C-alpha cells in the first residue's frame, strides 16, 4: 500500500520539469504523459524481458529494462528521473519483481484464454 500514491507523485515530479515551464512560465495547456509496460517472451517463460516506458508528448524519455536491471534515460529530459529511480533501492526491487508479478503472471492468464479460443475455432472446422 505504500506505493498507492506513487503514480501521482511521479506525475507531479514530471510536470515540474516540463520543457517550456522553466523560469515561472505556466505549463502548456495541452500535453500528454504516458506510461507503458511491455513483456517480451522468448521461449515461453524461460526468458522474459520487462520494459516500463515513460513518454511525454509522444516521445519516450526514460525506460526501465529488466535485462539491464536499471532505468535508462532515452533523452536528456529523462536523465534526472533515471538517476533518482536508480538510487531508490525499494523502487528498484519493485521494478525488478515485475518480471514475475506482471509478466509471468499475465502470460499464464492470457495464454490459457488463447488456447481455449484456438480450441473452439479448431472444433468448428
Mind listing the pLDDT tens digit of every residue in the chain (125 residues)? 444 444 444 454 555 555 555 555 676 777 889 999 999 888 777 888 999 999 998 899 999 999 999 999 999 999 999 999 999 999 999 999 999 888 888 887 776 555 555 555 665 55
* Domain-located, residue 1: no
Determine if the pTM surpasses 0.75. Answer: no
Note the pLDDT of residue 5.
46
Residue 56: domain span: 33-123
Task: Give the ranges where the chain is alpha helix by DSSP (H).
Answer: 6-15, 79-87, 89-98, 105-124
What DSSP string runs through 11-47?
HHHHHTT-TT-GGGPPPPSS--EEEEEEEEEETTTTE
Note the pLDDT of residue 1.
42
Looking at residue 67, which CATH number applies to its domain? 3.10.320.10
Give the count of domains, the chain.
Answer: 1
Distance CA 47, CA 4 (A): 29
* Domain-located, residue 19: no
Amino acid at each position: 500500500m505504500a506505493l498507492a500514491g506513487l503514480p501521482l507523485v511521479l506525475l507531479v515530479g514530471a510536470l515540474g520539469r516540463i520543457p517550456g515551464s522553466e523560469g515561472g512560465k505556466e505549463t502548456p495547456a495541452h500535453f500528454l504523459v504516458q506510461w507503458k509496460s511491455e513483456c517480451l517472451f522468448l521461449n515461453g517463460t524461460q526468458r522474459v524481458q520487462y520494459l516500463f516506458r515513460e513518454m511525454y508528448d509522444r516521445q519516450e524519455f526514460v525506460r526501465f529494462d529488466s535485462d539491464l536491471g536499471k532505468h535508462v534515460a532515452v533523452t536528456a529530459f529523462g536523465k534526472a528521473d533515471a538517476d533518482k529511480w536508480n538510487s531508490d533501492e525499494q523502487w528498484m526491487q519493485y521494478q525488478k519483481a515485475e518480471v514475475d508479478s506482471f509478466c509471468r503472471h499475465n502470460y499464464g492468464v492470457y495464454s490459457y484464454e488463447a488456447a481455449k479460443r484456438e480450441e473452439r475455432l479448431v472444433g468448428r472446422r
